[in-house]
Structure 1
Amino acid sequence: MAGTVEDIMTANPTTIRANQSVREAAELMRAQDIGDLVVLEDGAPVGIVTDRDLVVRVLADGGTAEDEVRRACSTGLVSVSPDDPQDRAVALMRDRAVRRVPVTRGEDLVGILSIGDLAMERDQQSALADISAQRPNE
């Protein structure tokens, strides 16, 4: 039986302010060995930015490493509560076609949940679970 989002989320995700630069985002991702950051504005989550977003939405579109992260991040952010059932998160991610959702308690960011987290929990023998369990490329 599926548990709650809190059972499988990554607690205390790495964040960046919307007005910080694309370069700072890339450096933070490299230092933390991660591929995404939760973007904050006035302390509240307003988006998610991935390493791919930095390339596709900024650099390939004529932007520079000094552009603000807000140019690259997703909009229309949806979130889940740590107490939500995993099935609710799956349905939300499917309906909104997103791979990651912030986990919030009230207005506080407490975690992030990825499609890989769900794959590893739901079907440890799946290709996605295998990929998600591997260390990132160096």
Structure 2
Amino acid sequence: MRGETERIGPADQVRRVMRAPVATVAEHCSAREIAEELVADEIGAVLVTGPHGPIGIVSERDVVTALATGGDLDRLQAADLMTTEIVWADPQDAIGEVAQRMHEARVRHVPVRAASGAVAGIVSVRDVLEPLAGQHG
């Protein structure tokens, strides 16, 4: 086990910086309800769930884009805003590898899936930035 003064770095497992539990919304949830969830939990993304688990992800950027393009936040639903091509990480993946995956996919949030298939957490670009920059400790 690492001491409290030992820094977390790019080779460490992403589970060291992931956040749990992950906020989720139903696919019929309104964009306004999503925005309220993002603000209340001080987070940048929520997973959208369907009958058989996660089906998409909605970020704060998705909500802002909808608003800026004249979308009605009370009528738009999570299913209208979500990205369905979810980029996943495993808890054992190295932080640096996950950061590279985020960069290549041009995403800011990556959910973490346990071996059982259950959602274990979520990682944001902010979570991986500190270990990459060597400032986390």
TM-score by length of 2: 0.79
Residue 91 of structure 2 is aligned to residue 92 of structure 1: no
Residue matched to 1:136: none
Equivalent residue pairs, number: 126
Residue 21 of structure 2 is aligned to residue 25 of structure 1: no
**Matches of 2:36 and 2:52, distance apart in 1:** 21
Residue 20 of structure 2 is aligned to residue 8 of structure 1: no
Deviation at 1:58, TM superposition (A): 5.6
Residue matched to 1:50: 59
Which ranges of structure 1 fall in alignment gaps of 5 or more residues?
Answer: 130-138
What amino acid sits opposite 1:123 in the alignment?
Answer: A
TM-score by length of 1: 0.79
Higher share of residues assigned helix: 1
Q: Relative CO higher for 1 or 2, CA cutoff 8 Å, sep ≥ 6?
A: 2
**Matches of 1:97 and 1:31, distance apart in 2:** 26
**Matches of 1:100 and 1:13, distance apart in 2:** 11
What amino acid sits opposite 1:121 in the alignment?
Answer: P
Deviation at 1:90, TM superposition (A): 2.0
Per-residue CA deviations over 1:46-87 (Å, capped at 9, x if unaligned) read 222122211313662433423211111122111011111223
Residue matched to 1:132: none
Task: Indicate conservation of the 8 Å contact 1:18/1:41, yes or no.
Answer: yes
In 2 relative to 1, CA 81–94 (structure 1 residues): closer, same or farther, beyond 3 Å?
same
**Matches of 1:62 and 1:38, distance apart in 2:** 20
In 2 relative to 1, CA 12–24 (structure 1 residues): closer, same or farther, beyond 3 Å?
same
**Matches of 1:79 and 1:99, distance apart in 2:** 12
Task: Indicate conservation of the 8 Å contact 1:44/1:107, yes or no.
Answer: no
**Matches of 1:12 and 1:71, distance apart in 2:** 24
Task: Indicate conservation of the 8 Å contact 1:21/1:67, yes or no.
Answer: yes
